[in-house]
Structures are given as structure tokens and as C-alpha cells.
Structure 1
Amino acid sequence: MGTYTAAVTPSAAIGGTFTAANYNIGYATGNIMVEAKPITVTAAAKAKTYGDADPALTYSYTGTLVGSDNFSGAITRVVGENVGSYAIEQGTLSLGGNYAITYVGANFVINKAVLTVSTNSAVMCQGNNLPALSLSYSGFRFSDNENSLSAKPTVTTSATPNSAAGTYALIPGGGASGNYTFAYVNGQLTINALPMVNIVSGSGLSVSKGATLQLTATGGAAHSWSNANGIISGQQTAVLTVRPSQTTTYTVTATNANGCSQSATITIEVREDFELISGTNILTPNGDGKNDYLVIRNIDMYPNNEIKIFDVAGRIVYSKKSYDNNWDGTFSGSPLAKGTYYYIIDFGNGKAKRKGFVSIVRD
């Protein structure tokens, strides 16, 4: 492209040398203008999903290039990676000074990516508070996380602590983002039933003071009894052996295979009817381990007791408060003669008294 000088000479005239008898011919120079060749470049519209790499930017053109002429540089788009539309611009695309480019732009569109939101399944026992419900995500782009969302999804369910045992849908929803569409996957809440716990007493609900009885719990796979009066054994088993000294309520917690627990109670009335108080009638204090001492059964249930033992003449041969079954038929350390002796037990605190006898037998 440019301006060039052109000169006319006789040899260049059409038909040869100009001649004219009546004229003197003179020649003058002129200019030739070379203009830039028009080329129209049209950008191709492009699109991608948020987070993907850009596709190559391409274009087409109308008009012809001369010889080996070719484009240099490249078209570009407005910078940005969020969802939206970005103009595709001419950028550095050029054909040099011999061409006049008319550029027709297009748009580069970034579409939303799909974010999959799944509710994590959960398990609870009937009657408990609902567990914390959580979500899992798949499809975040770049370094995005749930804090990148304009609104985080939440989980809803129809289940309540009082719902019947069974399964309930956990439904996610409510998420919002300029760069993502949401695909939701439901989870499941399983509510396990509580064990049906029952306690049976092997001796009924009312026993005489000093009685030993067994309490048997049913329901559940494991059992634990709370601390209470008179427990002898079995506190971590289904069968509890007890000897209560007073009316007592016993509590067992049963746990089933699903880890759900339920408690039950039973109250055992203890009667102070002295029906189980009885003494050994024969005393053979020879050290053989049999009938060596006067044993008053269940006397330990009455720690305020006092015992007095008399001979047939009514003299006191032995007296002790809080008797503990250790009298061996002696008086002041000396063996008493064989024969029959009588005792009176005062249970203290204005309670009843009990009389009995024991015969000392010696070889």
C-alpha cells in the first residue's frame, strides 16, 4: 500500500510516438495510489464448563491473501473464569499494512459445572436426639469447597426423636452458587428399636428381711445393674443376686445388638417380720467346723441387736451387743457343761425380741 510516481514518454503512448503538425507535445508525470486490501475476520463463538480448560479460539476470514502473506498474532478473550459471557477480541491478530481488517467479534461463554451433593446416611436409637447430619460433595473445581458457595445445602427429614423404628429419607437441598448447578442424592436415617426390658423376681416382690433372691432381666444382649442395696453378684449379667436389708428399687439397663439401651426397674419390699431368724439348736464345740458356734441366721440384718444367754438356773453366761455368731459355749473363757441353754435376742430400736434354746453336747 502507498503512492507511486508514473511518467508518460512517447514510447509509452498507444500506437507509438505521438506526432502532430500543428502542436508541440509536452509530457507530465502522475501518481498511482495502492490501497490496503480489505479482509473481514469473523471470530467463532466458543463455550466451556466452569473449571475446564479453554478451547482454542478460532476465526474465519473473507477475501484473499496475496502470495505467501499470512496472519500473525492471535485473537484473545476477556479474562475471567466465573460463569458468564466474555467478549472474544481481535487481540494481536494482524496482516500487516497491506490489508485492512474488519473484525467481527463473538462471545466466549462459561457454563455452570455440576456439583453432586450427597447426604451421608446415619443411625440412631429410638427416643434419642437426631444425630448431626452431614453432606459429601463431588465436583468442586479449582480450590473451591463448600465455603465457596453463596448458600450451603442443608438436610431435612421427617424423622423426630419420637418416630417409630424404621428408615427415613434424608433430603439435601437449598444450595446456591453462581458457578454450579446442584445434583442432590438422598441419604437414609435408620432408627433402631429399643429393647423391651422386663425384670422378674424369683421370690416375688415382698420378702422377709435376710432373704436372698434372684432378679432376672429379659430383653437386650447385655445387661448392667445400677448400684443398690444388698447386691451380692451378677451386676453385669442378666441375673442379679441380692439380699436387701431394706425395701429397695433395682434398675437394669439392657443393650441390644444395635447398641440401643432401655432401662427398667423393680422394687422389692423387705418385711421386718423376723420369719427368717432362727438359731442352731445343737452346739458341739469340738473344733471340727460343724456346730462349733451358736449361729443365729440373718442376725447381721439387725446390727443393733443384743443377745443374752442363760443357763437353766437363769444366770447369764454370755451377753453381747451386735452379736456376730461367735459364741462357742464358753463362760469367761471356760467351756460350759453340756446341757440346755436359753437365749433372748433384742433386735433394738423397740423391735421385737426372739427367744430360743441351744443344747451343748460334748464327747
Structure 2
Amino acid sequence: MISRLTFLCIFCLLLSSNRLFAVQVSPGNNRPLTLADFIVVPATCQPVGSIKFKGNVAGFTFAWEDSESQPITADKVNSSLSTGIYKLTYTKDGSIPYQLEIEVEQNLPSAGTQNNLEIACGESTLRVHGNAFASNSVLSYRWEDVNGKVVETREWAILSAGQYYLIVTDAQGCSSDKASIRIKAASERPTIDISSAKILSSGCAQPDGSITGLIVTTVETGPLVYSWNDLSGKAFGDQLDLLNVPAGKYRLTTRLANGTCESISSEFEVKQRNPLISSTNNVNTKLADCQQPNGAVTGVVTNATSFRWIDAFGETVATTLDMTNVKEGYYELILSNNFGCSETLGPFHVKAGNPPIVMQNQPTIANDSCGLGKGSILGARVIASGIRYSWADATGREISKDPDLRNIKAGNYFLTISNPSCSQTYPYIVQNVERILAKPVMEDKFVCSATGISIVFKEVAPLYRIYNENGDIIHESKNKSFLLNVTQNATYYAALANGECESIRTSFAVSIGEAALQIPSSFSPNNDGTNDYWVIKGIEIYNTADVKVFNRYGASVYHNLGANKAFDGKQGGNDLPAGVYFYVIKLTNECNPFTGSVTIIR
């Protein structure tokens, strides 16, 4: 058990160290009260402060003392308080006393200090706002000069340069401390005299332009600050004279070094010697159609002697005044002359024009057969407006303007599809497919004399052909039967044809009666082994040939059926006398006999 004396010593130490702490005089189970258990309202210039217990007062007893240790109330609410420290002694359910000190602070209005105000250049006064704070409404403002004279009583004051003070009063009649308001007068603007200004033009290769002769004056003394700038704001000099500058437009800005008010001169132009003169008023930009490099920029007018067009990547695309054959994009034109002057025009936008020709469907190719012109290229289509089609053969000759090409022979064909700006050519090849035709069946022919013979084909075909022994066509017909004129024994060849396709040729012989024979007009049967017989060439093919020879008296001297025995100039084994004899030859029963003479030479 702590002794009573020890407890009282601890209590005194705590009380002297922090007046906001609650102090428990004797041990117990109840928590002591703290500042958080009270609502403290500050006082102003009037005793309007208060301290109110927020909890349940049941079981509590309160005793309040002011800072002079004078009792003031025994209630849970201590009101109408002035600024100061108040001591609370309380018990809970008959406990030992507890003590707590609570401070009631003073809450007065305040005015804001403003010591860095400066009147704007060219002005003599400044409109100043009274910055004030109060827990309740500010009722009045009082602006005083250094002599205490009130110069304004409103929230805003228009003041000349000098020292001022601001006091504000709230709704309870409480006033703030004086707040310092210091206003600096506007600095003097220098005067710029340009009457003696001298401007020299600049070259292109070396900037040597200048502006000199300006005179700057001030009433106030002190150094001046200079700044030369072009119209974009870029700085070019910090002295009164501007030297070694390129062609351009410039202004001088000046002020006192310790001031803020500036004077700005009028605009001076340093011109360029041997300048480039260019115009883009009549520039014409041609679209780049079909995603091809066919755009152009033309019409720039200039006195430049060198030209260089660059694209967006800085690559050179042309070195002529007119830029042609470029793709869609942005371009700049760099111009220069012989004096080192240069300028860049642009950018110029070459826009994309009509899209390229894109074929939606590839065509179907049907090959020709036998050169009949039955090939086709069908189905080439482009879905777009203003589309034109043109078909050309291998020679470049236009053969059709339809999308589909029909009835064509084997060969190379070219389809050009175009719109008003673009064209695309597609090559196609049509093959020729040979068709195998059957070999015709033919029989040898015999006629008694040179005449037209009937040729009849058994097969069906578009064309029927007859060739001679030299391979020349001597007859061609769409009819399977026709007449063929023959004049001598010959071998012919028959073929079936369909366009350029032809069957294997079949040979057949045509024999003509008398014309088929070669009958000697004489012979010399003298047993010398030469021309001893009357040999009729060609008769050997007539097995039933009937040959008779008569003397001049009509008596028969020779008769033979067939071609197995030639006339030897004898009759009954005896030589016939030399002379002229007459013959009668009948080749077949269908042919009429023919006659002639033969001479026996001895």
C-alpha cells in the first residue's frame, strides 16, 4: 500500500508538469477523465468560451475554479468563459477527488500580411484584396497608412505605393492584429528612340545582318538589360546593337536591371541579299493511284537554281523542280541558289487516289481442241465502279471488251482491267488439245477411163480429205461422199479431220483403163535381148484382159487372155514379117475395147 504522503507528492508533480492531464488522487478501478471527454469552445474578445462534459453526469460531482483558484460553478457545463486555464475537481460515485486542467484559448480574427506587392507597369495604383480569417463573419475592414489614417474600409482597396496596415473586425466586435501591406511602385519604362536606327541586310552563307543606332534613355539611373528576339521568341542578342544575325524580323526588349517594366521596340526587318523568291500559289498535287508511285507535285514557282525533294524519312526522291512518280506520303522541297541561300517548302501531301485493281475471282480457262476455236477464259471479275475490260492477243491486238473471252484458239491472251486511274494486266495461256480420230477404211478403185470417181467415207467426221502422193490436199469436203477427178493411175490418201486434228491417212489406188496402160508403139523381136517383146505395162493388174493383134489384112496373129504372155512377134513359132499390125484390147467386160497399132521392126 502506497502511503498517503507518497501519493500526494506524485499528484503534485503531475499537476505541475501538464495541466491537460487528469490526475487520479487515489487508486481505483474507474478511468480518469481526459480532455477528450469535453467540448471546449474558445473565447474571443468577449467571454463566450465554454467547457462542456460530453458524458453521462450520473454519479459525478464537479467543482470548477478559474485561473485565480476562485470557484465559478459546480455544473457539468462551464460557460461564459474568458481566455484562461480552468481547473476541474470531480468525483465518481463517491470516489476520491480527481483534478483536470483545461485551457480555453482566444479565437480572434486575423488579417493576412502582404509585403511583396508591386504596382503594374504603367499604373500608379494597385487593387488589393484584404485577406482575412474569422470564426464568424468579418463585419468590417480598416486600411491605415503609416500615420494611422484610415484610407479604405472595404474588402478591396485601391492603393498607391507605400506602407499600409489592415485590421479586420468580426461580428462580435473583435479586431485582428495589424497586418502589414507593403506596395512597391512600378519601375520606369525605358524610352527607345529608333530615329537613328541603321539596318544592314544579311547574306545567306554567312549571317552578317545588323541593327544599330538605337538610343535607350531613362529618368532613373541604373544599368539596363537588353534582349533581342525574333518573332518566334528566340533570343539573338543581349546588347543594344544587334550584330551578325540572319535575315528575319526582330524586336528589342529593355528594362532597368532592378526593375520589371519593359519597353518593346517596333519590329525591325533584316532583309536577305540575293533572296530566294518562291510561290506555292499554283501548286498542283496529283494523287498516287493504285498504290503505285505515280503521284506528283508540280507548279512551284521559284528563282532557285537547285532543287531537292525529300520524303518523310529525309530520303531524296527527286532533284527537279517538279516531283513526279512518287507514292502517297508527305514531301518537302529544299531550294537553294548560287549565293548560299536555301529554304524549305512544304510539307506537301500526295494523297492516295483510286485503289488498285483487285480481281475477286480468278477466271476458268478451257483449252481449245484441234484448233477449232472452242477455248475460253471465263469468270474474271472486279467489283468496283467504272471498270473496263480489254482482251488482247499475242500481237497486242484488242479482240474483245467483254469480261469473258469465248471461242478462241490456243495462244497467249492478255486481260487488261482498268478504271479511270488504274490498270492491271493479267496474262493467260490457252492450250490446244489434240483429239484422236479413227483411221478411215478405203478400197482401191478401178475405172475404165479418166473421169470423176465416187469417193465414199464410212466414218462420220466434220471434214473429209484426200491427199495425193506428194502429201498435198487435192480435195476437202464436209460431205462423206463426193466425186474425185482422176486422169491417171495413182495412189491417194484419205483422212478424217476435225479442225487441226487429223486421223492417220489411209492409202488407196485408183486405176484407169487405157490410161492405166503403157502400150509400146513398136518392138524389135530379133533375139538380141533388147525390146524382143511387146510388153504392155499396167495390164498385169487386169486378170481378164483380152489382147488381140491383127495384120493389115485383118487376120489374127496374136491372142491372149490375161497378162501372162507377151507378144513376141511370132505366129505358130515363125517370125512375122516386119510391118504395121493392129491391136484390140478389152480390159474388162465393163470397159469398152480400145485399139491401136504396133510396128514390128526386123
Classify the TM-score, shorter chain. 0.3 to 0.5
TM-score by length of 2: 0.26
